[in-house]
């Protein structure tokens, strides 16, 4: 099973031996794959061109692609494991989990890190203290979106800029969404971030 190690408040996945192909969804520059090991084919996708360019120079052993998580450019069952470090909170989670379930093989594992409400609450307090109206409005949207996800399993776009999705997640919301996407053996790890492992049924 995939575990993790902590570095301050950040968590990094630790992969077991025997994996051949691993995908990182929302990989940034690919640093999580680089830290996770080198005995497997490491593939990352992200929409940030600059991060991918930097990662190609920093971690040439990681294969990086520009793609959206809602339409992963890989065949079904292509990967033994899928990682995502706090990228899914910036996405429409249900269709992304469906795509992850499609590309990971049956019995394959996922390691996913999400935002808890405590993170959003802390940011909202700072925004109110700084009297940053635009940031406060956006954080209010994130708060409402997280509640909607917790109660219904759905996410909605930011009404003031339709390009953006963001929400916080709860154990109940993430567990239910993973089960709907076809995952079992779902385990929640206690900690600052909401870290969840699961296995494709």
**Tell me, what CATH number does 66's domain have?**
3.40.50.150
Q: Write b or e for each residue in 142-179: b if 16 or more Cβ atoms lie within 10 A of its Cβ, otherwise e.
A: bbebbeebbeebebeeeeeeeeebbbbbbeebbbbbbe
State yes or no: pLDDT of 190 exceeds 70: no
Is 122 found in the same domain as 110?
no
Concatenated DSSP letters of 59-116: -TTSEEEE--GGG-SS-TT-EEEEEEES-GGGS-HHHHHHHHHHHEEEEEEEEEEE--
Concatenated DSSP letters of 46-59: ES-HHHHHHHHHH-
Burial of 96 per CB tally in 10 Å (0-12, 13-18, 19+): buried
Is 128 found in the same domain as 37?
no
Is 92 found in the same domain as 163?
no
Q: Find the mean pLDDT for residues 2-17.
A: 82
Q: What's the pLDDT tens digit per position in 137-165?
A: 999 999 999 999 999 999 999 999 999 99
Q: What's the pLDDT tens digit per position in 80-95?
A: 999 999 999 999 999 9
Q: Find the mean pLDDT for residues 25-48.
A: 94
Domain span including residue 141: 117-168
pLDDT band at residue 3 using 50, 70 and 90 as cut-offs: confident
The 8-class DSSP code of residue 168 comes to -
Percent of the chain with pLDDT over 90: 87
Is 181 found in the same domain as 143?
no
Give dist(CA 198, CA 200) in Å, integer.
7
pLDDT band at residue 8 using 50, 70 and 90 as cut-offs: low
With contact defined as beta carbons under 8 Å apart, do 30 and 64 qualify? yes
State yes or no: pLDDT of 9 exceeds 70: no
Mean pLDDT across the chain: 95
pLDDT for position 7? 72
Domain tally for the chain? 2
């Amino acid at each position: 099973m995939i575990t993790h190690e902590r570095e301050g408040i950040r968590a990094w996945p630790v992969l077991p031996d025997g994996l051949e192909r691993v995908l990182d969804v929302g990989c940034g520059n690919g640093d999580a794959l680089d830290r996770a090991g080198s005995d497997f084919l490491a593939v990352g996708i992200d929409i940030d061109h600059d991060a991918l360019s930097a990662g190609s120079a920093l971690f040439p052993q990681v294969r990086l692609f520009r793609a959206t998580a809602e339409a992963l450019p890989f065949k079904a069952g292509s990967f033994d494991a899928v990682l995502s470090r706090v990228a899914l909170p910036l996405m429409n989670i249900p269709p992304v989990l469906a795509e992850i379930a499609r590309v990971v093989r049956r019995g394959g594992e996922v390691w996913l890190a999400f935002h808890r409400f405590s993170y959003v609450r802390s940011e909202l307090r700072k925004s109110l203290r700084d009297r940053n109206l635009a940031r406060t409005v956006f954080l209010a949207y994130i708060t409402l979106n997280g509640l909607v996800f917790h109660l219904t399993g759905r996410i909605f776009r930011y009404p003031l800029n339709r390009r953006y999705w963001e929400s916080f997640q709860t154990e109940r919301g993430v567990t239910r969404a993973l089960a709907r996407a076809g995952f079992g053996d779902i385990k929640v790890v206690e900690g600052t971030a909401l870290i969840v492992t699961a296995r494709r049924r």
